[in-house]
Amino acid sequence: MRIGELNTRAELLAQGPDLLGQVLRGVWVGLTGRDTDDPPQAGLRSPTAYTGWARYAVDLVGGRYLRIGPRLLRIDAAVDHDSRRTLQRLSLTELVGEPAVYRPAAGDDRPTRVFVQADAPQPGSVMRRPEYRLRADLPVVEVGRPQAGEQLLVGATTYVVVGPVEGGDDGIVRSLWVRTP
């Protein structure tokens, strides 16, 4: 891709007061991926770094998201490319995972993506031996504030939210303990 080929239509998302993504507007972007020597994926964040280009706009800032069809990319940084407010260079991280549906107790089902890790150790209550549970990582912008008892449907498997993982929320990805009913 050459600079100036803004050939991909995306939705610009910002987190609302309920932490869910709200569509601000449509934007044309150009994307290029960079191969990295990072280890294989071990969560929702893709190890491939992306660079994007877009026309300069004051609402195109770090911390917002771009949704391109089923893909979700977080804007890590947005820099005025030539200091003339014509193009912005975007540093992007893609959030990838299995397609899923989050079912809150109140409200509509929410399509999302999830990374489920089996046998995640958790400090146990009996003699501090680790207990093994299922841990699910979900994008905060798609699920908001999950509560215990709510459900997550991944393929044909239904998981019930047990509670949040201590220290498992960085504002981008929320980690939850889940179990099968």
pLDDT in tens, 54-109: 988 989 999 999 999 999 999 999 998 788 888 899 999 999 999 999 999 988 99
Place of tokens 């107790």: 105
pLDDT at 2 over 50: no
Longest dimension (CA), the chain: 62
CA distance 33 to 94: 10
Place of tokens 């150009």: 30
87: which 2 tokens?
Answer: 């193009």
Whether 8-95 shares its CATH topology with 98-179 is answered yes
107: which 2 tokens?
Answer: 């409200």
Query: Which sequence spans correspond to the domains of the chain?
Result: 8-95, 98-179
pLDDT in tens, 11-58: 999 999 988 999 999 999 998 876 555 555 668 888 888 899 998 898
pLDDT in tens, 114-144: 999 886 565 655 556 666 678 999 999 999 9
Place of tokens 């549906």: 101
For residue 121, the cross-strand partners are 132
The SS3 of residue 48 is strand
133-155 burial by CB neighbour count: b if 16+ within 10 A, else e?
A: bbbbbbbbbbbbebeeebbbbbe
For residue 82, the cross-strand partners are none
CATH superfamily of 8-95: Bacteriophage SPP1 head-tail adaptor protein (2.40.10.270)
CA angle 111, 138, 29 (to 5 degrees): 70
Q: Which CATH architecture has domain 98-179?
A: Beta Barrel (2.40)
Cβ distance 174 to 164 under 8 Å? yes
Strands (E), 64-156: 65-68, 71-80, 87-95, 98-103, 110-123, 130-139, 151-154
